[in-house]
Amino acid sequence: MPVYEYECAGCDKIFEVQQRIADEPIRICPQCGGEVRKLISMSSFQLKGSGWYTDGYCGSSKDKGDAASVPAKDTPATPPCQGGAGSCTQCPAAN
């Protein structure tokens, strides 16, 4: 069951509640009775490792296991921005 975070406008308390996805969001703070709002929290779900990428989630089946079709781990997609006046016009990420 997912855990949702809420923040109370009355007492500024942040609390967590385990609820089903189909349940209505909580509207009243259980501590002070003030109005609460649901927060958007960072998910703990992460895809790690090389297996998930090469198991059929990218391209056709002939690409499976092909090292050329998997991006290199330590190579950035674009070079980091060097800053400075007018440098963004030459930046690959700006195109």
Q: Please tell me the pTM assigned to this model.
A: 0.46
In the structure encoding, which two tokens stand for residue 68, read together? 């050329």
Residue 47 has a pLDDT of 72
Give me the pLDDT at residue 39, please: 93
The token duo for 65 is 């296991």
Q: Does residue 2 surpass a pLDDT of 80?
A: yes
Match 């895809």 to its residue by tokens.
47
Could you tell me which of 62, 92, 67 has the C-alpha nearest to residue 80?
92
The pLDDT assigned to 78 comes to 55
| Residues 6 or more apart in contact with residue 64 via CB below 8 angstroms | 54, 55, 56
Model confidence pLDDT, tens digit, residues 36-86? 999 988 777 777 766 665 555 555 555 445 444 555 566 555 555 555 555
**What is the C-alpha separation between 21 and 32, in angstroms, rounded?**
25
pLDDT at 63: 47
In this prediction, residue 25 has a pLDDT band, given cuts at 50, 70 and 90, of very high
Task: Please state, in angstroms and rounded to a whole number, the distance separating the CA atoms of residues 24 and 81.
Answer: 45
Looking at the predicted structure, is the pLDDT value of residue 91 above 70?
A: no
